[in-house]
């Protein structure tokens, strides 16, 4: 009898729609960003930059009315063997240019040659086929700019689909 109650509860939730389940749409836990946070207020020597990165949480398939959902991995890479860099903001936008979310509230650091990722789950369709990111960052004047790349992938049965994009530094 005890096993029947949870099942009945699930059925009641499904039928009434009254159970709200919060789904995490990015598998990177926000507490991980807190562990990487950096106070850069005293780092007056940092030069600021911006990078645009196109991502595709969906692509069109067969016609404009059918889409195929994709998992997106965004890589934020520090190309410097000796210098730490700082990512001040990572903001995700949908196809219409509306902000979906920012991934951290404080600047984060990437140690020399380190990579950090943002994952957008395949079930997260909020970005659409024209989704994009805008990154604000800070580096020493002698450092290389960070590299931002996206890998989009989906597998279904025996079929797989994957492709990449690279960020474009804005001036």
Mean pLDDT, rounded, for 37-55 = 95
| Residue 59, domain member (yes or no) | yes
Q: How far apart are CA 59 and CA 139, in angstroms?
A: 34
| Residue 53, domain member (yes or no) | yes
**Residue 116: closest CA among 146, 154, 143, 157:** 146
The whole model's pTM is what?
Answer: 0.81
Please write the tens of the pLDDT for every residue from 96-150.
999 999 998 899 999 999 999 999 999 998 999 999 999 999 999 999 999 999 9
- The pLDDT value given to residue 144: 98
Residue 67, pLDDT above cutoff 70: yes
Residue 18, pLDDT above cutoff 90: no
Q: How far apart are CA 143 and CA 52, in angstroms?
A: 19
| Residue 34, domain member (yes or no) | yes
Residue 5, pLDDT above cutoff 90: no
- The pLDDT value given to residue 3: 53
Residue 15, pLDDT above cutoff 70: no
Range of the domain at 90: 22-170
CATH number at residue 89: 2.60.40
| Residue 44, domain member (yes or no) | yes
- The pLDDT value given to residue 23: 46
How many domains does the chain contain in total? 1
| Residue 143, domain member (yes or no) | yes
Residue 4, pLDDT above cutoff 70: no
- The pLDDT value given to residue 20: 46
- The pLDDT value given to residue 100: 95
Q: How far apart are CA 151 and CA 165, in angstroms?
A: 7
Mean pLDDT, rounded, for 42-58 = 95
**Which of 8-22, 64-78, 107-121, 146-160 has the least mean pLDDT?**
8-22
Contact between residue 83 and residue 139 where contact means Cβ atoms under 8 Å apart: yes
| Residue 1, domain member (yes or no) | no
- The pLDDT value given to residue 138: 97
At residue 30, what are phi and psi to the nearest 5 degrees? -55, -25
């Amino acid at each position: 009898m005890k096993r029947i109650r949870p099942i009945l509860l699930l059925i009641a939730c499904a039928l009434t729609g009254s159970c709200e389940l919060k789904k995490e749409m990015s598998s990177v836990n926000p507490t991980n960003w807190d562990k990487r946070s950096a106070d850069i207020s005293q780092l007056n020597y940092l030069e600021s930059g911006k990078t645009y990165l196109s991502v595709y949480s969906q692509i069109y398939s067969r016609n404009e009315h059918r889409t195929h959902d994709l998992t997106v991995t965004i890589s934020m890479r520090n190309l410097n063997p000796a210098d730490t860099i700082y990512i001040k903001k990572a903001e995700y936008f949908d196809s219409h240019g509306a902000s979906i979310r920012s991934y951290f509230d404080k600047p984060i650091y990437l140690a020399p040659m380190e990579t950090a990722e943002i994952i957008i789950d395949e079930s997260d369709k909020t970005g659409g086929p024209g989704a994009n990111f805008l990154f604000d960052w800070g580096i020493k004047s002698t450092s290389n700019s960070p590299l931002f790349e996206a890998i989009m992938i989906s597998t279904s049965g025996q079929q797989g689909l994957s492709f990449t994009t690279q960020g474009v530094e804005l001036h």
